[in-house]
C-alpha cells in the first residue's frame, strides 16, 4: 500500500491539526483554505487558529486563500505566541462576527489588516453587513467587497462608511450595493479627490 492510499484509509482517524496536515498531503501539499475548512473536523474559528499556529511554526504557508506545506526542514521551534493581528484583535472583541473577521484577515490580508488597524469600525460593520447573505456566501462576499469598502473609507472616512453599512444591513437584502448607493447620494462621489467633506483623516 503506498503512502497516499494509507493516508486515505487512515484519514477518518486523524483529528484536528493531524487531519488538516493529512488533507494537505493528500492534495499534493497545497489546497484552498475553503477546502480545508470544509473537510476538516474543527469549527472554522478553531481551524483558523490551528493553521495560524502551524504557520508561525513554519509548517505551512498561507497566502491569498491557499494553504501549502512549507519545504522540509523549515519547521521552526515553538515560541511564545505572536502578537495578534488587527483582525484577530477585532475578532476577540466582536464574537458575533469572529469567523468573518478571521477569514478576511487570512484571505484578504492586504486589505483587511490595514482596515482593521486604521478603520476598525468600518471593517466590523462590513462583516455585520455580510451576515445578511446566505451563510455559504458570507465570507466570499465580504472578501470581494473589502477593496471597495477600503476605497470608500479613503474617500469619505471611517465614520460615514460605518454608518452607511449599518443602515444598509438593516434595510437591504444585499447591503453592500445599498451602502454604496447611500454614500453616493450623500457625497456625490466615492473618489477621494472628488468626494464631499469626509473625515479629513488619511487612513492608509
pLDDT per residue as tens digits for the range 91-147: 999 999 999 999 999 889 999 999 999 999 999 999 999 999 998 899 999 999 999
Candidates 167, 203, 202, 171; CA nearest to 183 is 167
Percent of all residues in the chain with a pLDDT value above 90, rounded to a whole number = 49
Residue 68 is predicted with a pLDDT of 85
Q: Is residue 123 within 8 Å of 152, Cβ to Cβ? A: no
Percent of all residues in the chain with a pLDDT value above 70, rounded to a whole number = 82
- Read off the C-alpha cell for 176: 453592500
Exposed, middle or buried: residue 201 (CB in 10 Å: 0-12, 13-18, 19+)? exposed
Backbone angles phi, psi at 82, to 5 degrees: -65, 165
Residue 4 is predicted with a pLDDT of 64
- DSSP class of 81: P
Domains (range + CATH), the chain: 3-69 (1.10.10.10), 86-187 (no CATH)
More confident residue, 31 or 118: 118
Residue 81 is predicted with a pLDDT of 61
Note the pTM of the prediction, 2 decimals. 0.65
Amino acid at each position: 500500500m503506498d503512502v497516499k492510499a494509507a493516508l486515505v484509509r487512515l484519514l477518518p482517524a486523524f483529528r484536528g491539526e493531524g487531519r488538516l496536515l493529512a488533507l494537505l498531503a493528500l492534495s499534493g501539499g497545497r489546497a484552498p483554505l475553503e477546502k480545508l475548512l470544509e473537510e476538516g473536523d474543527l469549527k472554522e474559528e478553531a481551524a483558523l487558529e490551528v493553521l495560524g499556529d502551524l504557520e508561525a511554526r513554519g509548517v505551512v504557508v498561507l497566502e491569498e486563500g491557499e494553504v501549502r506545506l512549507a519545504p522540509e526542514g523549515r519547521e521552526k521551534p515553538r515560541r511564545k505566541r505572536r502578537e495578534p493581528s488587527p483582525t484577530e484583535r477585532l475578532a476577540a472583541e466582536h464574537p458575533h462576527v469572529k469567523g468573518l473577521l478571521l477569514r478576511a484577515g487570512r484571505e484578504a490580508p492586504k486589505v483587511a489588516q490595514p482596515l482593521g488597524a486604521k478603520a476598525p469600525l468600518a471593517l466590523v460593520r462590513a462583516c455585520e453587513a455580510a451576515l445578511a447573505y446566505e451563510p455559504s456566501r458570507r465570507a466570499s462576499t465580504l472578501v470581494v467587497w473589502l477593496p471597495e469598502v477600503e476605497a470608500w473609507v479613503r474617500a469619505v472616512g471611517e465614520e460615514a462608511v460605518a454608518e452607511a453599512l449599518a443602515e444598509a444591513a438593516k434595510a437591504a437584502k444585499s447591503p453592500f450595493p445599498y451602502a454604496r448607493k447611500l454614500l453616493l447620494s450623500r457625497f456625490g462621489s466615492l473618489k477621494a479627490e472628488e468626494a464631499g467633506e469626509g473625515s479629513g483623516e488619511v487612513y492608509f
